[in-house]
Chain A
Amino acid sequence: MSDGTIVRPYGDTTGDGMVQTSFTLPVPPGPRADGAALQLAQKMGIEPAMVVHSHGIGGGGGTAGDGAAFTFFVVYGSVRHLVDLAAVQVEERAYPLLSPSEVNAAIKTRLRRSLVVLGACIGTDAHTVGIDAILNLKGFAGEKGLEYYREMQVANLGAQVGVADLVRTARDRRADAVLVSQVVTQRDAHLRNTRELAGAFREAMGESRPLLVVGGPRFDPAMAAELGVDKVFGRGTTPGEVASYLVSALVPAEEPA
């Protein structure tokens, strides 16, 4: 704390390191279960730790009846660990945030044609609210969606679109960018589908493939390279961020001579 880059969690006093966590262990409730929870807490770096609450789950007859095979815990305590702010790594936005009129102007003067954007939700995922938030006029968080941008030609293909269809449509319409949403993540469905997407575009179009952008609430934005796409957006993304990124990635920096 002395040099300002080291911090600890704050309970009610600077430097007290207090955290609160909850978890379940597959152990029947009782002193042994509480002891097991303390052991885990200590291994997590919480010391001293207090099991402030525990109850059995799964017993007969309602609340914590006999025969519960699991115990739920709430633990409070002070963590030993220090946070070094100087060592924090985040995906910093590597492009300037532009207003819709700046985006339009950039495309018009520097690309000199409209930017073709395709959007879809692939696989069996039927969640469209996320991609709609980015694309539809109505937009998200007070920002208009990409359809509002005069210099963009946007087609939203909706949900449950097959990858092969998407590749074909992208080629037919000479898409500059393909935006794909993935919301269901059970068994890593979103990662599998994204890799499949990247593979299919690579195979069909090689270097001339469109810019591939994926998004969804459980994606880690740092994963783009690993997944074989150009950019990953996570939860709370706004249309303006996406539009600004598209300009930085697809529109030449200078006006053509």
Chain B
Amino acid sequence: MSGKLALNPVLVARARELAARAAAPVVELAQAHTTVSVERAVLRLAGLTGTDPVTGDGPEQDRVPWVNRVVDAVRDQVGLESGVALPVWHALTSGAAGSLPELAEQVGAGTARFAVPTDPEPAREAARAAVAAGIAWIDANRARRDELVTTLGDPPRRPWIYLIVATGDIHEDIPQAQAAARAGADVIAVIRSTGQSLLDYVPEGATRTGYAGTYATQENFRLMRAALDDVSRELGRYVRLTNYASGLCMPEIAVLAGLERLDMMLNDAMYGILFRDINPRRTFVDQRFSRMVHARAGIVINTGEDNYLTTADAVDEAHTVTVSQLLNERLAHEAGLEDWQLGLGHAFEIDPDRPESFRLELAHALLARGLFPDAPLKWMPPTKHMTGDVFRGYLLDGFFNLAGVLTGQGILLVGMMTEAVVTPWLSDRDLALRNVRYVLDAAGNLAEDFHPQPGGFIDRRAHTVLAEAVDLLERIADHPQGLIQAIADGTFGITRRSPDGGKGLDGVVRLAPDAYNPALELLEGVRV
């Protein structure tokens, strides 16, 4: 498939080299800092769960999780510069509390006293052992997934068919997800409630009250994975589950995904910054940790380049998608993810009224395919130019599906003809799957016969976009702040975000020389 366009290898190599330079300031920043959510993720890996009952008598989801209470208490007393592990496991090894839950209770009662130990060794050792148990659980889940895929089997063909459920109520989502799997979906994504990205905690428990999506909670993850395991057995193929590691709690959600055997996670280096106004520093630190966890868990990430094309023009700004894919790839590799785990995003968002729009789409999709031959690209349907004319929308989705098979996309998010109208109805999803199935059955192997003319329209367009991407990368890499400056300049999705603006900056802490994070140590240990 990568051979469809003869991309200039010198230019491609140059693009990657520039992406590495542009991303370097981000990596440095991430290495030098921690965040409240990274530290909470450490406690979650060590098995701390539940909420403080004193923080509310409503449903559990509205109460403050223990991990938040403990991290806040450590921060108040000794700061987070050394990380949460040393003070917490110092309290445990020095006998102040018998267990992590007991220590949390003391925090709740206001009696816990934290200190950074002068001899860190005992605390380090205990922390490492506690966190290793969580990582072992993640490893076991990865092995279990491999086993289920071997016994039940993978979907029969590519692209994998990816479908969203979003009722707000996990108990309503489950039958919908099972129905979707029976009707042919290979991947189920449970989209999150609006507003969850801005919560600086992960709600607990099974939830039924989301808006335009369902809360990501450990219990919801567990319930849905179990339901999909049932339907996988019934269907004789492993149905994958997706959720979203974005917002203020990327690291924790990544840990929960690993603990509950989710298979794919939305995880973009910039989405939270651009589309939720989350502080860039916060996002970059959180993003790196969360990706290290995904790498370990064998999770496929999905990046969010498609979203840029909802606020920027899909032709004029096509090269920003390419640039972002290269940056996402770089940051992912740096965090330990391998090519097969990179569901780099792109989308069919060109104005259908524009002449040659379909050929332009093919050019852009083939460029992504050619640049990332081993990545399972995530192909996103038209949304921006969908209107209340659902009939035209159905046709457009058919062309989107066709472009997907012609250009060898890895994961196809099923487009809904009612995109501009409602969150999908049962029948919308069914009709959409029929559309996909028709195209895959009728033209699934058409890629074999599809060879754009060298020097022809598609070939030329792909090269133009690549050249524009390299130009832009040159400019970004030349700036000492690299990507951080590019985001401030409004390079992506024509949205400007300054490094000091946005939500969550107060949760970022510069690390002291004695800082210790057992999770980072264990996750980095295995990396090549």
Contacts and interface: CB of A to CB of B under 8 A. Distances in A.
Interface in A51-103: 57-63, 65, 70, 72
Contacts of B437: 62-63
Contacts of A24: 425-427
Interface residues of A, number: 29
A247 interface: no
Interface string A17-53: 0000011100000000000000000000000000000
B211 A57 contact: no
Contacts, number: 67
A184 B211 contact: yes
A187 B425 CA distance: 15
Interface stretch (A5-13, A109-117, A123-131, A195-203): A123-131
Interface string B99-136: 00000000000000000000000000000000000000
B419 to A, nearest CB: 12
B183 A62 contact: yes
Given A61-B182, A128-B311, A72 B430 contact: yes
A74 B194 CA distance: 34
Interface string B379-413: 00000000010000000000000000000000000
B179 A57 contact: yes
B212 interface: yes
B168 A57 contact: no
Contacts of B426: 24, 57-58, 70
Contact of A124 (B183, B198, B388): B198
Contacts of B427: 22-24, 57, 70, 72
Contacts of B310: 129
B32 interface: no
Contacts of A132: 311
Interface string B475-513: 000000000000000000000000000000000000000
A60 B233 CA distance: 12
Nearest to A62: B184
Interface string B257-275: 0000000000000000001
Interface string A141-172: 00000000000000000111000000000000
Contact of A60 (B194, B234, B430): B234
Interface residues on B, range: 20 to 34
A184 B194 contact: yes
Nearest to B184: A62
A135 B311 CA distance: 14
Nearest to B209: A187
A199 B231 CA distance: 48
B235 interface: yes
B168 to A, nearest CB: 7
A189 interface: yes
Interface of B is mostly: helix
Which of B423, B425, B427 is most buried by chain A, counting CB atoms within 10 A of its CB? B427
Given A63-B437, A184-B194, A184-B211, A160 B276 contact: yes
Interface in B216-248: 234-235
A128 B234 CA distance: 43
Contacts of B198: 124, 160
Contacts of A158: 277
A128 B420 CA distance: 15
Contacts of A124: 194-195, 198, 211
Nearest to B175: A58
Nearest to B167: A186
B235 A189 contact: no
Contacts of B183: 57-58, 62-63
Contacts of A125: 194
Contact of B276 (A126, A186, A217): A126
Contacts of A184: 194, 211-212
Contacts of A126: 194, 275-277
Contacts of A65: 182
B434 interface: yes
A84 to B, nearest CB: 25
Nearest to B503: A160
Interface in B143-186: 168, 179, 182-184
Contacts of A61: 182
A70 B388 CA distance: 25
B182 A186 contact: no
A186 B430 CA distance: 21
B394 to A, nearest CB: 12
A235 B421 CA distance: 11
Which of B184, B276, B430, B434 is most buried by chain A, counting CB atoms within 10 A of its CB? B430
A125 B310 CA distance: 15
Given A128-B311, A184-B212, A60 B235 contact: yes
A186 B311 contact: no
A159 B426 CA distance: 30
Interface string B417-442: 00010010111001100100100000
A58 B276 contact: no
B311 A57 contact: no
Nearest to B311: A129
Interface of B: 168, 179, 182-184, 194-195, 198, 211-212, 234-235, 275-277, 310-311, 388, 420, 423, 425-427, 430-431, 434, 437
8 contacts: A22-B427, A57-B430, A60-B234, A123-B194, A129-B311, A132-B311, A186-B211, A189-B212
What are the 9 A-B residue pairs with the smallest beta carbon separation, nearest first?
Answer: A124-B195, A58-B179, A186-B212, A124-B194, A57-B430, A24-B427, A72-B427, A60-B182, A184-B212
